[in-house]
Amino acid sequence: MKNKLMHLSNETMNVGFVKKVEALSGSSVRRCFQCGKCSAGCPMSAFMEHPPNRIVRLLQLGQGQRVLAGRSIWYCASCETCTTRCPNKVDLAGIMDALRKLSWDADGPSKESYVQLANRLFIENIRTYGRQYELRLGAAFNMKSGQFLKDLMLGPKLISKGKLKMFHSKNKNIGEIEAIFKRIEEMRKKGEAL
């Protein structure tokens, strides 16, 4: 990716946001001394406009909105390589989780709002059926993202090969799955879960 000059501003500085990230992740961004070992090992770094070490640097400078407006946090695969490689014990994978949570709560301005939409629909499907119902997921995604014809021609092929089912019954343990969702909601209210 081409390096572009980045203009940072006091007006966009939000120290409160950085404190929230630190509280949620349990990791201090001030520990980072920009050695770059996290980015060197990150398998998704090539797809991110801000590699992991730069995400931490932006947070050190209080530029949370710039981080949320980019796609890097949604390209992170939560592999934890960065956390393992960091000589200063910065839990960068945990920081990425915290950033996704804050972006989710704020409903964007993420460039990757389709990722958020796909995540939301995926979870809704699990809650409704107790399992993934791919056809419904694909149809709901196309409707809600306004891409009505996206991958439409793939549907019949996948159905004919038995890779996609037209109908799904609910998981018989749906009650237990609902109880898990309720427990997570309670934990989130108490600040015990992301």
- Which of 82-90, 130-138, 154-162, 167-175 is the region at the interface with ligand SF4 (rule: CB under 6 A)? 82-90
Tell me which of 28, 60, 65, 88 binds ligand SF4, using CB under 6 A: 88
- Write the single-letter amino acid at 181: F
Site string for ligand SF4, 48-67 (x = CB under 6 A): ----xx--x-----------
Secondary structure class of 187 (helix, strand, coil): helix
- Considering the rule CB under 6 A, would residue 86 count as an interface residue with ligand SF4? yes
Residue 88: C-alpha distances to residues 1, 28, 112 (Å): 27, 10, 30
With beta carbons less than 8 A apart as the criterion, state whether 127 and 180 touch.
no
CB of 99 to ligand SF4, least distance (A): 10
Measured between alpha carbons, how far is 60 from 96 in angstroms, rounded to an integer?
14
Exposed e or buried b per residue across 62-74, where buried means at least 16 C-beta atoms within 10 angstroms of its C-beta: bbbebbbebebbb
Q: By CB under 6 A, is residue 78 in contact with ligand SF4?
A: yes
Is the Cβ of residue 33 or residue 181 nearer to ligand SF4 in the bound state? 33
As separate numbers, helices (DSSP H) first and strands (DSSP E) second, the chain gives 11, 0
Using the rule CB under 6 A, is 93 a contact of ligand SF4? yes
- What single letter denotes the amino acid at residue 62? G
Nearest 5 degrees, angle CA 15-CA 18-CA 65?
Answer: 85
Q: Least separation, in Å, of the C-beta of 68 and ligand SF4?
A: 15
Say whether residue 33 binds ligand SF4 (CB under 6 A).
yes
Residue 49 CB, nearest distance to ligand SF4 (Å)? 13
* Residue 103 binds ligand SF4 (CB under 6 A): no
Residue 26 is a binding residue for ligand SF4 (CB under 6 A): no
